[in-house]
Amino acid sequence: MVTLSLSETLASMSDDDIMALVGPATWANGLRLEHAGAVRELSWNQDGNLLEARVKEAGLTYRAWISQGAIRPSLKCACALRTDCPHAAAALIAGRAEALKRQESVPEWSRVLKQVLGGIRERSGEPLALVIDAHDPAVEAALIPLRRGSSFAWTTKRASWLDLTATQWASVTDGLDPTHVSLLREGYRLSRESRSWHSRTEVTLSSLEEHAYAWLERLVRAGVELFVSEDGRESFVLSHATWDADIDVVASEAGLEVRVVARNGDQVLASPRIDREAGLLLLDGGTRAARIEGV
């Protein structure tokens, strides 16, 4: 039997695993804290079997500890709840992200060997994919879930937002990757918190507001493929670059013309397509997206 280190255990955990550990409500509150940047410090002990974090909430800072238990990670915190609280959940989620980055730096042969030996748990279930339909600048970019099809590689059948989020019909999501289902449900929940109204059957990029890039990044990290259309032939690319919105003043026959431009080093886009609500710059006809600051 191969014993996993704490880092390997955290890297192997899905959102469903964390929910099973602390409960859905605590997981959601922990995710909220982690997204808000409440986890200020993360440090591992010398043996790598203890993770310590400082988590700030409502002006107070709490220390949380994650250790390797016999069959599951053990969560403790200095808050009144002492254990399995949102602060510890936030520390676990942040620790998982760091553990995944560590795992990416491990040589491929080492990861394959551990998988053969059973050291890292394989994800189970059919994958989901997501279309970011941003081809029309006049329309909000729509997000459309896909699942594996029988006649085609991908299909929208039994993959609507209502299908994936309706918990009373568990058979609809039976056989799907539980991590993918959990992440898409998270996206749907984030879209419902939007300041603008949207039909309950649709999710747009704008409706995710400031959570858009981080959520899409989590999808990619979990193996959810992104496409530009429902046929699944062309991938939607999430750029790691961060652009800056800027003001450019140019002289014209009518006088001085003030316009918004996007800058990335020496590269300047004179007519950028910016989704202000999501904080994203859409590039190459809506087939790529990058973060943009200053909007």
pLDDT band for 120, please (50, 70, 90 cuts): very low
pLDDT digits (tens, 9 = 90+) for 37-55: 999 889 988 878 899 999 9
Strands 225-227 and 203-204: unpaired
Q: Within 13 Å and on the Cβ side, how many CA atoms surround 240? A: 2
pLDDT at residue 166 in the model: 79
CA distances from 95 to 7, 177, 279 (A): 8, 22, 26
The pair of structure tokens assigned to 227 is: 């496409």
- For residue 203, what are the β-bridge partners? 143
The DSSP symbol for 235 reads: B
Q: Are 23 and 84 in contact (CB under 8 A)?
A: yes
Strand 154-155 to strand 142-148: parallel, antiparallel, or no bridges (unpaired)? antiparallel
pLDDT one-digit tens code per residue, 76-118: 999 999 999 999 999 999 999 988 887 765 555 555 555 555 4
- Judge whether residue 1 has pLDDT over 50: no
Per-residue model confidence (pLDDT) at position 225: 95
* Distance set, CA 81 to CA 35, 55, 62, 75, 78 (Å): 21, 14, 11, 11, 8
Give tens-digit pLDDT for 204-245: 999 999 999 999 998 998 889 999 999 999 999 999 999 999
CB 91 within 8 A of CB 42: yes
pLDDT tens for each residue of 167-198? 666 678 888 888 898 889 989 988 988 777 77
Task: Give the pLDDT band of residue 27 (cuts 50, 70, 90).
Answer: very high
**Residue ranges covered by each domain of the chain:** 6-117, 129-227, 237-293
SS3 call for 52: strand
- Average pLDDT value over all residues in the chain: 86
> Tokens 């009144």, residue?
80
On whether the pTM is more than 0.75, the answer is no
Bridge partners, residue 142, by sequence: 133, 204
Tell me the DSSP string of 53-82.
EEEEETTEEEEEEEEE-SSSEEEEESSTT-
Q: HSE on the CB side for 24, CA within 13 Å?
A: 5
**Encoded tokens for 238:** 């999430």
Strand ranges in 114-176 using DSSP code E only, listed in sequence order: 128-133, 142-148, 154-155
